Amino acid sequence: MLKFAKNYMESISGIEIYPIISLLIFFTFFMGLFWWVATTKKEYIEEVSNLPLDN
Partner 1 sequence: MEMQQFYYDNKIVKKFIYATIFWGLIGMTVGLMLAFMFLYPNYTSGISWLSFGRLRPLHTNAVIFAFVGNAIFAGVYYSLQRLLKARMASDFLSNLNFWGWQLIIVAAAITLPLGYTSSKEYAELEWPIDIAIALIWVAFGANMIWTILKRRQRHIYVAIWFYIATFVTVAVLHIFNSLALPVSFLKSYSAYAGVQDALVQWWYGHNAVAFFLTTPFLGLMYYFVPKAANRPVYSYRLSIVHFWSLIFIYIWAGPHHLLYTALPDWAQNLGVAFSVMLIAPSWGGMINGLLTLRGAWDKVRVDPVLKFMVVAITGYGMATFEGPMLSLKNVNAIAHFTDWIIAHVHVGALAWNGFLTFGMLYWMVPRLFKTKLYSIALANVHFWIGTLGILLYALPMYVAGFVQASMWKQFNPDGTLTYGNFLETVHEIIPMYWMRAIGGTLFIIGAFIMLYNIIKTVKSGSEVEDELAEATALTPVPSHRTKGEGWHTWIERKPVRFTIYTTIAILIGGLVQIIPVILVKSNIPTISSVKPYTPLELEGRDIYIKEGCVGCHSQMIRPFRSEVARYGDYSKAGEFVYDRAFLWGSKRTGPDLHRLGGKYSDSWHFNHMYDPQSTSSGSIMPRYQWLIKNKLDKSSIESKMKTLATLGVPYTDNDIANAQASMDAQGKKIQGNLYNDPNFVKSYEADKKFAKDNGEEFVEMKDREIVALIAYLQRLGTDIKVKDTQALLK
Residues that bind partner 1 (CB under 8 A): 1-3, 5-10, 19, 22, 26, 29-30, 32-34, 36-40, 44-53, 55
CB of 46 to partner 1, least distance (A): 8
Check residue 7 and report its DSSP letter: T
Please give the single-letter amino acid code of residue 54: D
CB of 17 to partner 1, least distance (A): 13
Q: Toward partner 1, which CB reaches closer, 10 or 13?
A: 10
- Provide the total of helices (H) and of strands (E) in the chain, helices listed first: 2, 0
Gap between the terminal Cα atoms of the chain:
52
